[in-house]
Structures are given as C-alpha cells and as structure tokens.
Amino acid sequence: MSDLAVDGGHDPLVAAVDWGGTWIRVAAVSGGRIVRKDRRAKPQSLAEQYATVADMVLRTTAHLAQPPTAVGVGLAGVIQEGIVGTAHNLGFTDGTDIAAALRPHLPLPTYLLNDVQATALGVAARWPHGTTAVLTMGTGVGGAVIKDGSLDPGLGGAGDFGHVVIDVDGPICPCGSTGCLERLVSGRTLAEAANALAEAGLSPLLAARARTGRVLHAGDLQDAAQDGDSRAAEILSRSAVALCAGMRTIVATLDPHRIVLAGTPLSPNTWLGRAVLTQWDLTRPRWARTELHHVIEDEDAALLGAASFALDKFTAAPGGS
C-alpha cells in the first residue's frame, strides 16, 4: 500500500475500485487526488473477490482524516442502472447487483460503472466544461460521453463507440451486428492482420518476428508500416478511414466540444495516429467546431474516474451533500 499525498480533510473522501480480470486496485481519493492506493491479485471465486474488495477499501481508507462517503467501482462488463449483465473475466454471467452483494462486507453507498467509462472520466477531467466524447482504443474500441465533467451513460451503454456500424456488409461482430468499428480497427483486429501477413510471408519484418516465437500485436503492424511495408501501411490506412468515419458519426450525433482519443496506438507519434490526423483533416464535417485531442492513458485514470462518478452519484442522492 502506498500513500501518495496528505489528506487535508477539506474535500470529501471517496474510495475507488478498479476491478479487473487480473488485479483489483483500490484508492482513497480526495479533491481529485489519490491519497492512498493498494493492489492485489484477483481471487478466483466471487465470494473471495467480494471479501477482498471490501477489505481493501476499509484498509486503504483507514486512519485518514475522515471516513469515505461513498465507493465507486469500475469493472469490465455490461452495466445498466447498477446491474452487471455480464463480466466474464470476473465470473459474472447474469444480472448481478454488486452493490447489494458488497453491502454485508462494506456498508457504504456503492456505485458501479463500466471500466472504460471510469477511464474516460479520468482522462477527461482536464476538460470540466462542455461535451467531451472519449474514444478509447486498446484490445477493443470503447468510449464514453462526458458532459460538464459528469458521465452521461444513457441507460448504461452511451459512448460504446466500438459498436457504431461503419460497414453494413462488413465482418460479423460478437455483439451480433456486422461491420462494427472495433471489427475494423482495434488492437485485436490489427494484431490479427499482423499475424496473417506474417503467416503468408507477405511482410519480411513481421515474418522474422513471428519466427522467434513471439505473438504479434498491433504495435508490430505499426513498426512494419514505419519500416516501409506497403501492405501494413495499407491496412493501417483503411483503419484510419474507418476510425474517422466513426468520429464523423460522433460529431453528427453529439456535436461535442471535443473528441479525445485515448491510448498509445492512437498517439500522434505512431503511424496510425498520424494517419488518423491526416484523414480527419480530409473528411471532418466542415461545419464542425469539434476539437481533436489525444491523451496517453494513465493507469490511475480509472480510479480517479470511478471516484468522480461515485461522488456525483452520492451528492445527487437524497440526503447526499
């Protein structure tokens, strides 16, 4: 456990949980700053996970200047109105009220949100005014809509930009649709493309890396394009076109003050990041005043976002302050 700042006691203290498939991370947050945090490996059984989350929250917030007012929990799963539909990496396979399940161990107001939404809230904190659409790219593509610093989740799935349909005749998506954005550009899709080029012997650099036994990922495809591989560059160019089509949809539906691209694969110093900037200049709606920004995701963004969400919910609840 680590203390990162001194809690002055002037701002409400909120506990934040980043409940992942490998690690459970917990922080005490006050005034938008992490005061103390801890990390443990996720146990296998749900009963152990509940007990671990509760114990970590209580220990992390113990002996501070004030007790926590609420708990914000971000986890990878489908969440609607506080109910987890599915979160396979954690062992949830049907509708589960996690706040109710935690209550015997943790008698504090507890609020749930998707882990991508939590991260989006954290990275968008520097823009507290206006509408911010955060588009994240990692293994998949996700995002969130932030209005004046607060999450606008709709019924739970607002901002799930990875499932904007780009090509009605495109590849089938696990969500049941076809041609979703994340089936055209995502870490998983680009890794599949890199391995396909290597297996077919169409990219010397990728084939050489594959022969060492390493599993290729999206970064390898970017390296190949940077090295002058025309096939890798063509795949990334098509990906940039798809991503910008998704961004046009975001602009047409939300007309946000800004779109924030989050994640290393979209950094302006990568091949794909530069291609996206070039394509956006060519295809953005000329009437749009939406700004385009990029941020590198900080590992603490999800914790800060979960804390912000919980504080908003607690303050808005009857009896909150």
- The pTM of the whole model exceeds 0.95: no
Identify the three-state secondary structure at position 81: coil
Higher pLDDT, 26 or 87: 26
| pLDDT tens per residue across span 242-279 | 999 999 999 999 999 999 999 888 999 999 999 999 99
Main-chain dihedrals φ then ψ at residue 284, nearest 5 degrees: -60, 145
Distances (CA, A) of 289 to 23, 123, 168, 250: 40, 21, 28, 13
pLDDT level of residue 8 (50, 70, 90 thresholds): very low
- Give the pLDDT confidence score for residue 10 in this predicted structure: 74
CA dihedral 120, 122, 124, 130 (to 10 degrees): 90
- Give the pLDDT confidence score for residue 257 in this predicted structure: 97
Q: Any idea which of 4-13, 30-39, 113-122, 260-269 has the lowest mean pLDDT?
A: 4-13
- Give the pLDDT confidence score for residue 321 in this predicted structure: 59
DSSP assigned state of 201: T
DSSP assigned state of 164: S
Of the candidates 264, 314, 307, the one whose C-alpha atom is nearest the C-alpha of residue 121 is 307
Whole-angstrom Cα distance, residue 307 to residue 159? 19
Average pLDDT over residues 130-142: 92
CA dihedral 128, 129, 133, 139 (to 10 degrees): 0
- Give the pLDDT confidence score for residue 242 in this predicted structure: 97
- Give the pLDDT confidence score for residue 5 in this predicted structure: 47
Question: In this structure, are strands 131-137 and 141-147 parallel, antiparallel, or unpaired?
Answer: antiparallel
For 109-153, the three-class secondary structure string (H helix, E strand, C coil) is CEEEEEHHHHHHHHHHHHCCCCEEEEEEECCCEEEEEEECCEECC
pLDDT level of residue 3 (50, 70, 90 thresholds): low
Please name the amino acid found at residue 27: A
**Residue 6 scores a pLDDT above 50:** no
Report yes or no: 170 and 178 within 8 Å, Cβ to Cβ. yes
Residue written as token pair 């991503």: 243
**Residue 4 scores a pLDDT above 90:** no
Residue written as token pair 């799930």: 160
Report yes or no: 243 and 292 within 8 Å, Cβ to Cβ. no
Average pLDDT over residues 111-124: 92
Report yes or no: 22 and 41 within 8 Å, Cβ to Cβ. yes
Of the candidates 311, 296, 263, 297, the one whose C-alpha atom is nearest the C-alpha of residue 33 is 311
Whole-angstrom Cα distance, residue 168 to residue 212? 38
Whole-angstrom Cα distance, residue 2 to residue 23? 16
Average pLDDT over residues 201-230: 95
Report yes or no: 151 and 144 within 8 Å, Cβ to Cβ. yes
Residue written as token pair 């914790």: 303
**Tokens representing residue 233 in the block:** 């560059």
DSSP assigned state of 267: -
| pLDDT tens per residue across span 281-309 | 999 999 999 999 999 877 899 999 999 99
Domains of the chain: 2-108 (3.30.420.40), 127-295 (3.30.420.40)
Please name the amino acid found at residue 28: A
Average pLDDT over residues 216-236: 96
Identify the three-state secondary structure at position 116: helix
With 0-12 / 13-18 / 19 or more C-beta atoms within 10 angstroms meaning exposed / middle / buried, residue 301 is buried
| pLDDT tens per residue across span 60-83 | 999 998 999 999 999 877 787 778
Average pLDDT over residues 110-133: 93
Most confident of 18-22, 76-80, 101-105, 200-204: 200-204
